[in-house]
Chain A
């Protein structure tokens, strides 16, 4: 099976949401600021629950926030 990469638009969506801070997003979705940083830099793939919480925090769907790139 081909390898896949998960890309995300969290950084852009934070700025579009009134320059929401990483800490504010972390508090809203129930994780640490470090997790938001590594998520934004695509060093960590979140669980489905966290991905859905992040999408909900921006009022978007999971597909709007996360993107599956087939290599």
Chain B
């Protein structure tokens, strides 16, 4: 099996897990009822997380596309690919980390932007990170073991890719966890 196949499988598992979690949270919580013509208001943190996901997923998808298009070894062999991919991944990490960092600043300032429910959601956000990263590491382990079976070693570039994927998936899981918590609680 190729690394690309396992990468696609890994990418497919994340939204699948998010969908299952959403359906589960909907099934245990009664639906919110709003008067006709009124929309459920969003909080400052919720808007920040939505913007962060929108801005963070674009460079992440482009970086993933670059690595997939040129092949994982281009990340170490081709300086242009490595620089572009690293730049895009850094931009993605900055965007995805923004809610946690800014919410920390708001919490320290005792700002009106966060109330006790926002703080509770923020505190629960890392709950899914460990599970998401363990699933990702399991996929990497299976993919690399299957791809390089019988070979003397695994190219060092994969250490780099494992690091970036764990970092971005951890931040993604935290942000998705916050949005799901707003729906579920």
A residues near B (Cβ < 8 Å) are 30-35, 37-38, 41, 43-44, 46-47, 49-50
Of the residues A33, A43, A44, contact of B30 by C-beta under 8 Å: A43
Beyond the given pairs A35-B117, A38-B32, A38-B185, 17 more chain A to chain B contacts, judged by CB atoms under 8 angstroms and listed by A's residue number, are A31-B115, A31-B116, A32-B43, A34-B40, A34-B46, A34-B117, A35-B115, A35-B116, A37-B40, A37-B41, A41-B32, A43-B29, A43-B32, A44-B185, A46-B116, A47-B116, A50-B116
Main secondary structure of the interface of B (DSSP, over half): loop
Residues of B within 8 Å of A41, CB to CB, are 30, 32-33
- For chain B, residues 25 to 48, give those with C-beta under 8 angstroms from any C-beta of chain A: 29-30, 32-34, 40-43, 46
Question: Which residue of B30, B43, B117 has the most chain A CB atoms within 10 A of its CB atom?
Answer: B117
Total residues of chain B contacting the partner, CB 8 A: 17
- Chain A residues with CB under 8 A of B33: 41
Pick the contact of B32: A31, A37, A46, A47 (CB < 8 A). A37
Q: Please, which residues of chain A bring their CB within 8 A of the CB of B112?
A: 30
Which B residues touch A47, using CB under 8 A?
116
Query: Are the C-beta atoms of A32 and B117 separated by less than 8 Å?
Result: yes
**Which A residues lie within 8 Å of B116 (CB)?**
31, 35, 46-47, 49-50
B107 to chain A, nearest CB (A): 14
**When chains A and B are docked, how far (Å) is the Cα of A49 from the Cα of B182?**
21
Least distance between B38 CB and chain A CB atoms (Å): 10
Per CB-CB distance, the 10 closest pairs between chain A and chain B, nearest first, are A31-B115, A35-B117, A32-B43, A33-B41, A34-B41, A32-B115, A34-B43, A47-B116, A44-B185, A35-B115
